[in-house]
Chains A and B, each alone.
Chain A
Amino acid sequence: MKLAGLKSVDGAHEESVWAAAWAPAAEHRPTALLLTGALDETVRAWRADDLAAASPPARGHALGVVSLAAHPAGVIAAAVSLDSYIRVFDVDSGASVATLDAPPSEVWGVQFHPKGVALAAAGGGSGSVKLWDTEKWQPIASLPVPRPEGARPDKTGSGKFVLSVAWSPDGKLLACGSMDGTIAVYDAVRMKFLHHLEGHHMPVRSMVFSPVDPHVLFTACDDAHIHIYDAKEKGLIGAMSGHASWVLSIDVSPDGMAVATGSSDRTVRLWDINARASVQTMSNHSDQVWAVAFRPPGGEGVRAGRLASASDDKSISLYDYS
């Protein structure tokens, strides 16, 4: 289990790169595309093998892109900007498909349902997860995050502030992470709140479910720790430490053996899940690493594992994972 640097693009954006996602290979396009979004208000697409620009930058993502998610079919993707709009667009042409917002609140992390039937967005200060259907782009549900029993009152006196969402690979569970570190878990089929996962007390900015064990959730938190939860059984089953600062992003390898994390300590780390230990640290970025993403399986070159990272230093990097 190791990473090997393949290619880096310095100045990939004019400003800090804050989001990255892989659009999987589609019928019309045999390879996956890497999408990145930045403070320069653009979303750009890069070829999977050499990080060559695949199309001109898509502008108009006002105030900067904070989150990106690609539809599993590889045709469309969603980008969230600080102006709190979700812009759904065609990956190849960049053409707008839909513009969503969830007033009165802003939007942070977005994720498509594993089957692509819905889009979930972390609703920030509204303290809820918003769901849209992906055909007509109509709102399906708004899942509020209840306050845990005996919760400590927030300093601001406001409710939960929701930052991140993750779907389990079977689509049965939906998790949502918040500023205060608690993670709400929902039954995504019946749209019902199940329970909170506790252990973090700082913002959880990124989460991902294991592809091999649909109950296992990996979380990245500002407390510099990675937690491993059994989201179904409401249990903390592991914790990993090693980053010197906030863990900003996390993704799990398609084989389910490793997770990669990006941190404000400017490194990308690879972790062996079974050994619960950091196995490699990449220090090629010179500023916060806001996004890490494993290339999804499928398409050409499927056997080769790829990891992409995006950083505040305006660069993006591609690694071989084996």
Chain B
Amino acid sequence: MASVYIPVQGTEEEVRVALDHLPHDASDILDILKAEQAPLHLWLIIAREYFKQGKIEQFRQILEEGSGPEIDEYYADVKYERIAILNALGAFHTFLGKAERAPQREVHFKDATQYYNRASRIDETEPSTWIGKGQLCVAKGEMQMASDSFKIVLDEDVDNFPALLGQASVYFLMGDMEQQHKKALEFYRNSLDLYKRAMRAYADCPAAVRLGIAFCRYKIGQLDRARQAFERVLQLDPENVDALVALAIMDLQTNEAGVIRRGMDKMRRAFEIFPYCTLALNHLANHYFFTGQHFVVEQLTETALSSSNHGLLKSQAYYNLARSYHSKGDIETAGRYYIASVKEINKPQDFVLPFVGLGQIQLKFGDFKRSLASFEKVLEVHPENCESLKAIGNIYANLGENDKAIETFKKVTRIDPKDHQAFVELGELLVESDWAAAMEYLKTARTLLKKAGEKTPVELLNGIGLLYFEKAEFELAEQSFKEALGDGIWLSIMDWSVGSSMVSWSVQYRDQSFFHELEERVPLELPCDKVTTLFNYARLLEELHDTVKASLLYRLIIFKYADYIDAYLRLAAIAKEKNNIQLSIELIGDALKINSKYPNALSMLGSLELQSDETWLTAKERFRDAKDSTEGKDPYSLLQLGNWNYFAANRPEKKAPKFEATHREKAKELYLNVLKQNPGNMFAANGIGILHAEKAQWDIAKELFTQVHEAASGSIFVQVPDVWINLAHIFFAQGLFQQAVKMYQNCLRKFFYNTDATILLYLSRTHYEAEQWQDCRKSLLRAIHLAPSNYLLRFNVGVSMQKFSASTLQKTKRTVEEVRATVTELQNAIRVFSLLSVASTYHSHGFDERKIETHVEYCKHLLDAAKVHRDAAEQAEQQNRQKLEVARQIALAEEARRRAEEQRKFQLERRKQEDELKQVMQQEQHFERVKEQWKTSSNTPGKRKDRSKHEDEDGGGEKRRRKGGKRRKDQKTKMQYGEEEEDEYRNEPEDDYANITRDTGGDKLEKAPDHLLVAAGLEDSDAEDDMVPQSAIERKRRAWSESDEDEPVQGAVQHSPSATDLSE
């Protein structure tokens, strides 16, 4: 039991202080020390004892008291002890400073510096002060100054042990800090020399010196000797944790299972001896991470963190923690720890792994910029690290920098030509720009995988399938998709081996009971990596028109993955295609329940709502929501907003021209906006063309339409039938009827399988304008056949037949056949009009009964006239035939006679020459007379005709004038155009045969398309003239716009989805 004896002043007595039983309150001791004026070394001993016992405060109290000014005064000549006390305090603060963080750290270092300086003032040659200063400098990281301090001591005393150790450690640390490997080695060697000197100086030095030697050797690369040194340390001090850990690490680095196990044992022992060794803790954590004991990892790393201030070790600890959370899926926490780990590292060369983890997590959070920076740090250290390169490639792809992404992945394939993943990525990146290259890369990937004997991943086959799909190689696409999907419930569904007994499943898309029932009998499994492929396969089936199976697959997807929003939308699209609007809206509603901001769903809903009178206003909201949710970057939603504005401008109920202009302006702005983002957008160009057409700026519109038409003709994926129609409309408006007809016909055939009655109506109108009555009539009959319930078409057929008859009767020359046909056509027209007339009492198809009556009356009138004509013509024909017969017989007789004469002439040649001549002349005269007779006979019904001839000329004159006017007006504004149309149409009745009505079928037909959307027969024949100009203009404009432009716009809404669908 150690004790100290404080001599009692003035006596021989001493106070015994048992060091084990130092009073808790240091003041008690201090009082004694002060009272007895105890020698200073006793103060130091007692303070040191407090320190050993962990009573830091007491330690400090005594030393601070022992270094106070009173002491300095009193013990002025006791130099060494005073210096020792000050140095002890300096060392104490250095220690505190090392343990603390800034700014506390600085305070301690400052205190330490002050104490050492005071010690130096007492005796500046005292080596222990210099050593203290040196250590302070080491703590502060000022190696050069530390080295200088130690050198001062060593210059005095070459074998000063602490100075040697200090200097050795300075060199070692300088080695650690040195960037250049060679210089670093130099430092380690110096360090090693010093350690050796220290050992020579003190043969029985503590194990720590040998540890230093061992570390130096390790650093220099003398691994065996390092190992020997470590082992020697352990012999001297079997519980030396550092040596244990060092040996363990060397074991772990051997990469041999047995040795590694031994290493781990050592590590564990080190941990048992001293559970706060950060290095050991990190390694253990690493080990347990791989064995999957995350809880242990966390515990170990937490201890490691609290027990170390070493940056790299802390970084490793944080990394372990981060990795553990990462693997558990808690990426937010993991991210925080990765960041902590990265913060502890000065340069990525020290420890690069956390950058990988951090990069991955940033990637996951979509923080591409930061993630990119992280992976680039990794590349600084390992420029050919394929994983990082691939990550960077993915980031570029996500940032839309496809070129850079492709470059990066190409680099990967150069570094590792067997990296199938990189090939897959390349393939996917090139899908849009370079079909062939994409296919090549994907196929390479597939070959690589096959060679490696690995299973081709679903995504790869899916990619290949999609490529074929895009090239319209449906069979090959189907093969790929099927290979990707493999065996599964979908096959049984496809070949009807299950579920065929289920009733009415194929129309009730939202009724999933079929699958519920099915699930009770067979396990319904759909692995999540196959969902996308299944979806694509369903899209393919749709493309192959097998919508029944496609819809089943979509529903299977929804049954298993209720959040697969696109499946709902495809079902909605199918329902819409089948005209089941209600169901389609409900399905879109389901999709919006999953994501109320999903732009595709909003767009679809909007275009459905646009078609209904009740909901067209809300459609705008949908489009706007879709636009907002894509931050205005989605051309489709902008386009739809543009179309909506255009639609709104042409709505019949919006009468104010101001609104119209605003809507039209807005539409134009939106279209231009789309074009700015996407200069190749044909739909936007088409929209702008329409707006120009509305203003009768034919040339600009035509130019635009022609360009779009050409672009669209070259593309397999984008179909813009509207532009064909619009172009045809322009031809029509410019009077180029032949071209218009051709354009309409091509459009019908190319895009609509000849099933679009509206285009047939446009076609018939063009024929009508071109006065090709038969073609007009046939087009209309076809249209009726396609759209039986459209009575307007019937009316127009009636008009076309009436018009045909009237024009035939006006002809100056006509055959009996023509007149007969006229009669038949008039009978047909009367039949058609009469049926309509009766039907209108029965049926509200919107025609004015009176007007139909007028038509019937007019046709009957015409028919009477025609019958007269026919009879006359038939009579004339009869007479003609008779006269022809007579003439023929006469001619025949003459011929016979002439031959007889010739015979005779031959015999009586000379004698009867004169007679013969005379006779021939007579014959000729007779023939002339016959001819004359023919001429007059064909003029017999002339009287009736005169009037019609006159009318005809009149009408022709009107027509010419009208056309001239039209051309002139074309250059003018829309309003004037409207008026001109009014003129044009008003002219029409006047060239009719009989002036029964001012509102003839001609007028009716011109406006025909109007009545597709608005109830027909708006205008009353009598009201026509009284119509106020404003409304007349309005009406006419509408006639034009609705017939010509409105439909195409609706078409655009319908057809543009096909483009987006493909991109899905």
Q: Do A and B bind each other?
A: yes
Residues of chain A whose beta carbon lies under 8 Å from any beta carbon of chain B? 15-16, 18, 39, 62-64, 66, 82-84, 103-106, 108, 124-126, 152, 156-159, 161, 163, 179, 181, 198-203, 222-225, 235-246, 264-266, 275-276, 287-288, 312
Known contacts A104-B835, A276-B496: does B546 contact A158 (CB below 8 Å)? Answer: no
Residue on A nearest B1013 in the bound complex, by CB: A155
CB distance from A311 to the nearest CB of B (A): 11
A66 touches B789 (CB 8 A): no
B854 interface residue, CB < 8 Å from A? no
A-B contacts besides A63-B832, A125-B845, 10 pairs, CB < 8 Å? A62-B828, A82-B781, A198-B507, A201-B578, A222-B755, A224-B577, A237-B503, A264-B754, A288-B754, A312-B754
Known contacts A126-B842, A152-B582, A158-B845: does B545 contact A18 (CB below 8 Å)? Answer: no
Residues of chain B whose beta carbon lies under 8 Å from any beta carbon of chain A? 496, 500, 503-504, 506-507, 544-549, 577-582, 753-755, 778, 781-782, 784-785, 788-789, 791, 797, 824, 828, 831-832, 835, 838-839, 841-845
Chain A residue numbers with a CB within 8 Å of B506 are: 199, 236, 238-239
Known contacts A161-B788, A264-B753: does B545 contact A242 (CB below 8 Å)? Answer: yes
CA distance A259 to B782 in the complex (A): 27
9 pairs, CB–CB < 8 Å, chain A vs chain B = A39-B785, A64-B781, A104-B839, A125-B789, A158-B844, A163-B788, A235-B504, A239-B506, A312-B754
Chain A residue numbers with a CB within 8 Å of B578 are: 200-202, 223, 225
CA distance A158 to B782 in the complex (A): 23
B788 touches A108 (CB 8 A): yes
CB distance from B607 to the nearest CB of A (A): 17
CB distance from A222 to the nearest CB of B (A): 8
User: Chain B CB within 10 Å — which of A63, A222, A236, A265 has the most?
Assistant: A63
Known contacts A104-B842, A158-B844, A264-B755: does B545 contact A241 (CB below 8 Å)? Answer: yes
CA distance A245 to B797 in the complex (A): 26
CA distance A266 to B749 in the complex (A): 11
CA distance A157 to B789 in the complex (A): 12
Chain B residue numbers with a CB within 8 Å of A241 are: 545-549
Residue on B nearest A240 in the bound complex, by CB: B548
Known contacts A241-B547, A243-B545: does B579 contact A83 (CB below 8 Å)? Answer: no
Chain B residue numbers with a CB within 8 Å of A104 are: 835, 838-839, 841-843
CA distance A265 to B789 in the complex (A): 22
CA distance A66 to B547 in the complex (A): 29
Chain A residue numbers with a CB within 8 Å of B547 are: 224-225, 241
CB distance from A149 to the nearest CB of B (A): 15
Q: Which of B507, B582, B838, B841 lies in contact with A239, CB distance below 8 A? A: B507
CB distance from A9 to the nearest CB of B (A): 21
A63 touches B828 (CB 8 A): yes
CB distance from A281 to the nearest CB of B (A): 11
Chain A residue numbers with a CB within 8 Å of B544 are: 242
CB distance from A26 to the nearest CB of B (A): 31
CB distance from B963 to the nearest CB of A (A): 32
Chain B residue numbers with a CB within 8 Å of A264 are: 753-755
Residue on A nearest B541 in the bound complex, by CB: A241
CA distance A3 to B548 in the complex (A): 24
CA distance A18 to B778 in the complex (A): 13
B828 touches A288 (CB 8 A): no
Chain A residue numbers with a CB within 8 Å of B782 are: 16, 39
Chain B residue numbers with a CB within 8 Å of A236 are: 503-504, 506-507
Residue on A nearest B846 in the bound complex, by CB: A156
Chain A residue numbers with a CB within 8 Å of B785 are: 18, 39, 64, 66, 82
Residue on A nearest B549 in the bound complex, by CB: A241
CB distance from B675 to the nearest CB of A (A): 32
Chain A residue numbers with a CB within 8 Å of B500 are: 238, 276
B845 touches A246 (CB 8 A): no
CA distance A241 to B541 in the complex (A): 10
B545 touches A224 (CB 8 A): yes
CB distance from A260 to the nearest CB of B (A): 17
Known contacts A225-B578, A241-B549: does B781 contact A156 (CB below 8 Å)? Answer: no
Closest A-B pairs by Cβ, 6 of them = A104-B838, A201-B579, A161-B789, A239-B506, A245-B753, A223-B578
Q: Which of B507, B754, B778, B789 lies in contact with A124, CB distance below 8 A? A: B789
B789 touches A156 (CB 8 A): yes
CA distance A244 to B474 in the complex (A): 15
A223 touches B577 (CB 8 A): yes
CB distance from B505 to the nearest CB of A (A): 8
CA distance A101 to B61 in the complex (A): 125
A62 touches B824 (CB 8 A): yes
Q: Which of A83, A156, A240 lies in contact with B831, CB distance below 8 A? A: A83
Residue on A nearest B501 in the bound complex, by CB: A237
Chain B residue numbers with a CB within 8 Å of A163 are: 788
Q: Which of B504, B778, B789, B797 lies in contact with A199, CB distance below 8 A? A: B504
CA distance A224 to B578 in the complex (A): 8
CA distance A16 to B843 in the complex (A): 30
CA distance A126 to B579 in the complex (A): 23
Residue on B nearest A265 in the bound complex, by CB: B753
CA distance A91 to B416 in the complex (A): 80
